[in-house]
Structure 1
Amino acid sequence: MTTTKPSNARQIGKLMCTVTEQVLWSPSHNQLICRVGSGQATYHRFDPGTGQHQITYGAKMIEAKYRPETAGGWLSGREIQQRGYFDGELSPLNLLAHTCCHEFAHLLQHNASQRFRGSVHNRHFYRILDDLHTSGRAKATRTTLADLAERQGLALSPEGFELPELTGDRSCWAIGDAVAFATGRGEKRGEILRVNRKTCTVRGTGFSRGVRYRVPMQLLRKTAA
């Protein structure tokens, strides 16, 4: 399985910034700063005071999209599969190229005054995102990102992978089971405290210690205790 080290994740993030600026952005879209954050947070932000857009790609997000067990928790993966982007195939290259398009679509959505409180991933957003794919700009983003990574000797696999099989069968789960589940910001681990009708109450372990989660069974997978 292809993985990437934290230092390489930051390098890949810098390439994503380069691709965003060179392939997707133009001066007519206002000023843009692209940066790599140290955590998982990946987002677009606009500063009305300076008229400046900022796109941040989280290094831990990049690491997560190299692994099937954590890639499934991100919206970008669901968009690729459900909307048929890049032929519906998940791979580190496809996930990260689409992430560039996803965040840039938020920039265009803001400029079109179609981003509203409580309605961010709305039909206007997906019309813009669909257009980035059908127009060929998403393909150009993927091609350029792959070329830049290859020139720098960075692993960015185009090979597709399958997400782990998930089960929603209540009989599969028991109190005390060690489990993991994907979230929009990566993967959480914990121990089942209660098996409900459709969910399990999970007590977080490791970095999630002290937090309880109510998780749909189909999102859980068993791990070594």
Structure 2
Amino acid sequence: MMKPTSHSRQLGELMCSVTEQVLWSPALNPLVCRVGSGQATYHRFDYQSRQHQITYGARMIAAKHRPETASGWLSVREIQQRGYFNGQLSPLNLLAHTCCHEFAHLLQHSAGQRYRGSVHNRHFYRILDELHSVGQAEEVRCALRDQVRNQGLELSTRAFVPVESSAELSHWQPGDTVSFGTRQREIQGRIVRVNRKSCTVDGTGLSKGMRYRVPAQMLRRVKEPP
């Protein structure tokens, strides 16, 4: 059963707190960390206010509690393939790593190494690897675990094996028009790439200009007008 949205939002607020307390430095541009209602999780820099923004999606947080919905997220492959947290997947490890992943994008942007069409590049992974190798990722993990306990919330440390989503991916192909998210925050777009466990979607309409990596099981088909 999916974790209640209120629980996910509370966990998201703690992720924001840990990101600001453990990772962020006043030497960087100001940071606003927030919890979104959908699954979209991203770093963005506002050039007008010169301010970084990190958003953690409540539905992303809920999805990373379950093997069958966690499998499509890039953070799963990163932990397994790069050996972060000894390659062990758990809700705690996934959410702690998500904090590090988005903060690595912040540092990547600050270093001028984030380019259109080249986001998860070698510069990004050099930064992310370093966050893990110097112990900051483990510090994030411990701080998140402790804050969750202090608030009387639940966040499992039990390891799990993700459920493959290849069957869901077989239903999609580039060019398909899809939607995802909630009715209040529904995002529409067009699939541009079918990945190993997710689809890359370019936003359309109000989301034009945004790109999302979406687990296949969260996509809904949109019929285009004749």
Q: TM-score range by the shorter chain?
A: 0.7 to 0.9
* One-letter amino acid of the structure 2 residue matched with residue 130 of structure 1: D
* One-letter amino acid of the structure 1 residue matched with residue 16 of structure 2: C
The Cα shift of 1:182 comes to 5.3
Q: Which deviations, in whole Å up to 9, do the C-alpha atoms of 1:192-216 show, x marking residues without a partner?
A: xxxxxxxxxxxxxxx724469xxxx
* One-letter amino acid of the structure 1 residue matched with residue 56 of structure 2: Y
TM-score by length of 1: 0.76
The answer on whether the counterparts of 1:61 and 1:186 sit within 8 Å (CA) in structure 2 is: no
Q: SS of the residue aligned with 1:54? A: strand
RMSD value, Cα: 2.1
2:126 aligns with 127
The Cα shift of 1:8 comes to 0.3
Q: SS of the residue aligned with 1:4? A: coil
The Cα shift of 1:187 comes to 4.6
Matched, 1:188 2:200: no
1:197 aligns with none
The answer on whether the counterparts of 1:72 and 1:163 sit within 8 Å (CA) in structure 2 is: yes
In 2, distance between residues paired with 1:83 and 1:10? 28
1:63 aligns with 62
Gaps of 5+ in 2: 168-196, 200-212
The Cα shift of 1:185 comes to 2.9
The Cα shift of 1:186 comes to 3.8
In 2, distance between residues paired with 1:159 and 1:74? 18
1:84 aligns with 83
In 1, distance between residues paired with 2:92 and 2:46? 30
The Cα shift of 1:156 comes to 0.6
* One-letter amino acid of the structure 2 residue matched with residue 122 of structure 1: N
The number of residue pairs the alignment matches comes to 183
Q: SS of the residue aligned with 1:36? A: strand
In 2 relative to 1, CA 167–126 (structure 1 residues): closer, same or farther, beyond 3 Å?
closer
2:53 aligns with 54
The answer on whether the counterparts of 2:67 and 2:161 sit within 8 Å (CA) in structure 1 is: yes
Q: SS of the residue aligned with 2:129? A: helix
1:96 aligns with 95
2:7 aligns with 8
The Cα shift of 1:188 comes to 2.1
The Cα shift of 1:57 comes to 0.1
Structure whose CA Rg is larger:
1
Q: SS of the residue aligned with 1:188? A: helix
The Cα shift of 1:164 comes to 2.1
* One-letter amino acid of the structure 2 residue matched with residue 157 of structure 1: S
The answer on whether the counterparts of 2:18 and 2:140 sit within 8 Å (CA) in structure 1 is: yes
The Cα shift of 1:123 comes to 0.2
Q: SS of the residue aligned with 2:217? A: strand
Q: 2:220 aligns with which of 190, 208, 215?
A: 208
* One-letter amino acid of the structure 1 residue matched with residue 104 of structure 2: A
